[in-house]
Structure 1
Amino acid sequence: MKQEMKIGHFIGGEWISAAGGSSIAVENPANCDVIAEVPAGGKADAEKALDAASAASRAWARTPAVERAAYLQKVAVLLRERLDSFATTIMAEQGKPLSQARGEVLGAAQQLEYHAQWARRIEGDAIASDNVGEHILILRVPYGVVVGLIPWNYPLSVTARKVAPALVAGNTIVVKPHEVTPLSAMRLAALFEEVGLPRGVLNVVTGIGTEVGEALVGSIKTNLITLTGSVRAGREVMRRAADHISQVSLELGGKAPFIVCEDADLDLAAERAVFARFRNCGQVCTSNERTYVHQSVFQPFTDKFLDRVRSLRVGDPQSDPDVGPKVSRPELEKVEAMVARAVEQGARVLAGGGRMTGAPFDRGHWFQPTVLTDLDPSMDIVRQEVFGPVASLLPFSDFDDALRQANDSDYGLSAYLFTRDYRNVMRAINELEFGEVYVNRVGPEAVNAYHTGYRLSGIGGDDGRYGFETYMRKKTIYLSAN
């Protein structure tokens, strides 16, 4: 059975237009064709969604967790059955190549399946009391109304990553997808509607962040805000959440170092470094943003790395290339400006360096897979998150130097190390100041682990037991016989 696209805010179980009647065009980044018009919501739409979530909250929290989880399991089945259809939606709105889009759909299904398993694992504690005839209980209970703010780089899987634990924990949720990629979240909501999720438990409101997002975050009805997005957005969320002391969980990107030691398998390291840099056109928070290579193997590694970069296939996402387009014109221009600035500061371009030209790249948002070297640690390209298909190669003299350069960042999400030396592994575990450390492998991260970052990469996290606990708060009960 093919699911037809439903366009609109999904509020209280109904598909509705924006209160003001205006809309936002959704564009295919591969060719700039407009593929849909979605509501440009405002404060009134945000308040209506929060009202719907609030009205449904008490009954949903009283619903047994296994019943809540059953809706997730049913939606996961439908996602797997409609894998290609959902992958086509992701390709159309985000530009992700076919196999990567299919991977995202399967990742969303896995999020739903995994979090459904927590239904029988919501546990508390019994504490011995100092008083006769008394027991102390610590319960884990839902927050109430959750607001989920979704990025454009993984519009379906991140929506599932937030919706699944929120619902199993007993919360209701209002999702605000990014205005560039709202269709995946709408389609996911339509699946929940199809399996009979009670009205108001899941709501989706589209619009720009400064309108809808600000209204959702700043409302006294919002109990928990979970954001995956930029540092700028994270700061704004924290400011607005402070008005009502709302709980926040923020995943704000990264500047991952990728350390290649002199004893590493250079073929493996080069292949994995390219994958970790250019997957999803470099638009991944865990991307290899800084490749540090021991000076004794810098040139042979660079040669292997360049061979792989030059063999990357760039093209129409439907042809399943290695690299698709940037998601939007502003994002393309941002990466272009960062490369130009790097060259101005002294960087040398080894591959790429600018926009793709000629047919079929005359339309769309295309940037060449790019490799830079002759970099100084103070350069903007080394300090700031690129979030695009641009690799930076830097040498290091010894492992102390590698650790120092890797840790010299305002971000602290992911780090990579390729080595055969157990001593280097143990030092990296203890000394790399990042929420995730990958040794002789790259991502994606595991659904049952914990995705968290330090410094500007955010607070809180997703996935696994610790991510699930984000969606519950504790309540202490004193039971006395007197």
Structure 2
Amino acid sequence: MIAIDLKFEHLQWQYQISTTFFIFVILPALYYIYAKYISKSPNRYNKLEAPVKFKFPIPDEAKPHWKGKRLYPPNLGIQVPNEPNKIQSYCPATGQYLGTFATTSKDEMNLRIQRAKAAQKSWAHSSFLLRRQVLQTLSRFIIDHQEDIARVACRDSGKTKLDASMGEIMVTLEKLNWIIAHGERTLRPSTRPGPSNLIIGLMKSGEVRYEPLGVVAALVSWNYPFHNLLGPIIAAIFTGNAIVVKCSEQVVWSSIWFVDLVKAILKLLDIDEDLIQLVYCFPNDADYFTSHPDLNHITFIGSKPVAHKVVENAAKQLTPCVVELGGKDSVIVLDDVADFNALSSVIMRGTFQSAGQNCIGIERVICLPKAYEALVDILSKRIKDLRVGSNIDQLDEIDMGAMISDNRFSQLENFIQDAVAKGARLVSGGKRYQHPNYPQGHYFEPTLLVDVTPEMDISCNEVFGPVLTMIKANSIDEAVEISNGTEFGLGNSIFGKDFKTCNEIANRLESGSVAINDFATFYVAQLPFGGVKKSGYGKFGGEEGLTGLCNAKSVVMDKPLLRALGIATAIPPPLDYPIPNDKQAWNFVHSLNKAGYDNRVWEIVKSFKKLASGGA
């Protein structure tokens, strides 16, 4: 009987604790989530901005079981023999032909820019309600057709569907939904404190109004054909601009489909399709595009050598630029990491996603001694098991896809050979790979290179390929020095148990972004994105990405109370032309400065007295 009573009491105690926990912890947490995320979710829209459902057919080349003709050298490439004004698209994973497209001529560039300019005049005055509806419709289509979009991106870039889902679809949905939720607030007129002068501040207020620039341009890279193309389009549409995108000549086939998708949405909502234009050409005609007088802003995503030409041409028209270039991103690993197995998964994803063709991909893993030994042991076993191929064509499980072309394979092999000659150890990979099913596909073996040191070529040059390099540092100071020891500064990551230490390291790293105990989440979080040093300048993404596409117009006005009373500011009589009395005018301004900026009460009182007398 006693045992039963004790058991009953114990159950009662358990019940009371769980009820308390539910009332004071679970319920407040659920309310917080609802208030912060669900009630304000971009998916909870006004009926007037509800997404419109529509159909948009997927190209045959992206459908399962498509059998296209294969190209073989010397015809395997984007150049068409004897036709300098044609671009040939093909799948880099299989060598299958996708189509041939005439390059955009200078006359056609002029025409498309003028069409965009005409369409933007009315779009500049569009409501945020309509702009959100465009984004809502695009977001809903992407959510409902993820596989179609992934297959188009994979067919033109050679990546896997999983890489497309994470690097193309998820980040695009995040950008769309963040702007839907926060874009209008970001672009509302921003009230500012106004003058700090005590007297003038009582009379004047100020605000900044964000107005569209007009026709903006984006020159985007091939490594994320969907996201890199859609990102600038989304931002341009929402800020009231028109946009002309120059896609990479490597991914013309998919870029046409993606742009046509957005144009279909514009047409569906009775918006001028000319708001978005696509051009594609070889570098010789790109100079004309970037120096065009009717472009009001240029965003460039690409390499440092090409950026020099873009900026040089833009300078001819004083066109402002945002330039996002390469990186040599590092991961600094401290010895107190709790789970090196879990961390190895992060490092592999950061290195081998999209076959390493990622501007914020992990280029260097810099470890303290204990972490170094643990990770080298784990990664040596895991990387050897990676499987390469085309998972939109094969039934086999595939971990990594192809590279966009084979034109850098020799450079990658030279980097690796140089490192080995200088003391590095090649654990696995290190050379191009001929796939048994797709011998003309552009595959490079997943590579692990350990005992790398800063003086090796691979330590300071961007690899942009599936090569994981491991560097040992004997102290935090040395790790930071190695991380900062390149000309690049795009992004970094730090892993360690002690947040205070990680945070201090973050403050010492020379880069545009840092993730603590994670990889590249600064990009997903819709923070301003861009680099320092030779990784470029300017920002896109987040609030700064939107306001950067606007003219920040400063407006100063009389305070509302003065306007209501019909009082307007005027030039005081002692300062009016012609100056009636130079000495009196000087005394007036002298007293105005004293009254407005002096922090001594008596001096302010005396200055007001002087002002009241008109400076006499």
CA contact (8 A) 1:161 1:462 kept: no
Instruction: Tell me which residue corresponds to 1:172.
Output: 242
Relative to total residues, which structure has the larger helix share, 1 or 2?
A: 2
Instruction: Tell me which residue corresponds to 1:124.
Output: 189
Instruction: Tell me which residue corresponds to 2:334.
Output: 261
Instruction: Tell me which residue corresponds to 1:354.
Output: 431
Equivalents in 1 of 2:428, 2:252: separation in Å?
34
Instruction: Tell me which residue corresponds to 1:13.
Output: none
Q: Any idea what the Cα deviations from partners look like across 1:2-27, whole Å, max 9, x if unmatched?
A: 425599xxxxxxxxxxxx99421111
CA contact (8 A) 1:65 1:120 kept: no
CA contact (8 A) 1:257 1:414 kept: yes
1:216-365 → structure 2 map (5 Å cutoff) = 216-264=289-337, 265-318=339-392, 319=394, 321-357=398-434, 359-365=436-442
1:117-196 → structure 2 map (5 Å cutoff) = 117=181, 118-126=183-191, 128=194, 130=200, 136-195=206-265, 196=267
Q: CA deviation at 1:120?
A: 4.8
**Residues 69 and 40 of structure 1, relative CA distance in 2, 3 Å threshold:** same
Matched, 1:107 2:171: yes
Equivalents in 2 of 1:133, 1:383: separation in Å?
57
Higher mean alpha-carbon deviation, 404-413 vs 352-361, is at 352-361
Larger Rg: 2
Q: CA RMSD, aligned part only?
A: 2.3
CA contact (8 A) 1:260 1:291 kept: yes
Equivalents in 1 of 2:410, 2:474: separation in Å?
35
SS at match of 1:287: coil
- Please list every run of 5 or more consecutive structure 1 residues that lacks an aligned counterpart in the other structure: 8-19
Letter of the structure 1 residue corresponding to residue 228 of structure 2: V
Higher mean alpha-carbon deviation, 252-261 vs 68-77, is at 68-77
CA contact (8 A) 2:435 2:441 kept: no
Q: CA deviation at 1:297?
A: 3.8
Q: CA deviation at 1:110?
A: 3.2
Instruction: Tell me which residue corresponds to 1:432.
Output: 509
Equivalents in 2 of 1:78, 1:437: separation in Å?
32
Q: CA deviation at 1:114?
A: 2.5
Q: CA deviation at 1:187?
A: 1.9
CA contact (8 A) 1:86 1:184 kept: no
Q: CA deviation at 1:272?
A: 1.3
Q: CA deviation at 1:100?
A: 1.7
Equivalents in 1 of 2:206, 2:492: separation in Å?
42
CA contact (8 A) 1:149 1:178 kept: yes
Instruction: Tell me which residue corresponds to 1:409.
Output: 486
Decide which of 137, 141, 157 is 1:74's aligned counterpart: 137
Q: CA deviation at 1:456?
A: 1.1
Q: CA deviation at 1:242?
A: 1.0
SS at match of 1:262: coil
CA contact (8 A) 1:112 1:160 kept: no
Decide which of 267, 270, 284 is 1:210's aligned counterpart: 284
Q: CA deviation at 1:39?
A: 2.5
Q: Any idea what the Cα deviations from partners look like across 1:447-466, whole Å, max 9, x if unmatched?
A: 42222211111111222112
Higher mean alpha-carbon deviation, 357-366 vs 133-142, is at 133-142
CA contact (8 A) 1:326 1:332 kept: no
SS at match of 2:441: coil
Q: TM-score, normalised by structure 1?
A: 0.91
CA contact (8 A) 2:87 2:100 kept: yes
Instruction: Tell me which residue corresponds to 2:160.
Output: 97
Higher mean alpha-carbon deviation, 354-363 vs 331-340, is at 331-340
Instruction: Tell me which residue corresponds to 2:555.
Output: 477
Equivalents in 2 of 1:475, 1:188: separation in Å?
33
Higher mean alpha-carbon deviation, 329-338 vs 418-427, is at 329-338
Q: Any idea what the Cα deviations from partners look like across 1:258-312, whole Å, max 9, x if unmatched?
A: 1111111321222211111111101111111011111234223201011121122
Instruction: Tell me which residue corresponds to 2:104.
Output: 41
Letter of the structure 2 residue corresponding to residue 247 of structure 1: P
Instruction: Tell me which residue corresponds to 2:593.
Output: none
Instruction: Tell me which residue corresponds to 2:72.
Output: none
Letter of the structure 1 residue corresponding to residue 180 of structure 2: A
Equivalents in 1 of 2:369, 2:411: separation in Å?
31
SS at match of 2:432: coil
Equivalents in 1 of 2:206, 2:491: separation in Å?
40
Equivalents in 2 of 1:138, 1:99: separation in Å?
43
Letter of the structure 2 residue corresponding to residue 240 of structure 1: N
Letter of the structure 2 residue corresponding to residue 169 of structure 1: T
CA contact (8 A) 1:332 1:366 kept: no
Q: Any idea what the Cα deviations from partners look like across 1:430-454, whole Å, max 9, x if unmatched?
A: 2112111112211352242222211
- Please list every run of 5 or more consecutive structure 2 residues that lacks an aligned counterpart in the other structure: 1-54, 62-82, 559-567, 571-616
Equivalents in 1 of 2:536, 2:389: separation in Å?
34
Q: TM-score, normalised by structure 2?
A: 0.72
Equivalents in 1 of 2:478, 2:471: separation in Å?
11
**Residues 6 and 194 of structure 1, relative CA distance in 2, 3 Å threshold:** farther
Instruction: Tell me which residue corresponds to 1:10.
Output: none
Equivalents in 1 of 2:496, 2:229: separation in Å?
35
Instruction: Tell me which residue corresponds to 1:88.
Output: 151
Q: Any idea what the Cα deviations from partners look like across 1:89-117, whole Å, max 9, x if unmatched?
A: 11111011012223323432332332233
Letter of the structure 1 residue corresponding to residue 279 of structure 2: V
SS at match of 1:277: helix
1:431-470 → structure 2 map (5 Å cutoff) = 431-444=508-521, 445-470=523-548
Higher mean alpha-carbon deviation, 405-414 vs 344-353, is at 344-353
CA contact (8 A) 1:95 1:325 kept: yes
CA contact (8 A) 2:434 2:441 kept: no
Equivalents in 2 of 1:21, 1:234: separation in Å?
23
Higher mean alpha-carbon deviation, 258-267 vs 89-98, is at 258-267
Higher RCO (Cα < 8 Å, 6 or more apart): 1
Letter of the structure 1 residue corresponding to residue 468 of structure 2: A
Higher mean alpha-carbon deviation, 129-138 vs 471-480, is at 129-138
Q: CA deviation at 1:329?
A: 2.1
SS at match of 2:365: strand
**Residues 433 and 132 of structure 1, relative CA distance in 2, 3 Å threshold:** closer
Q: Any idea what the Cα deviations from partners look like across 1:127-154, whole Å, max 9, x if unmatched?
A: 5463997654421111111001111111
Equivalents in 2 of 1:375, 1:95: separation in Å?
29
Equivalents in 2 of 1:290, 1:385: separation in Å?
10
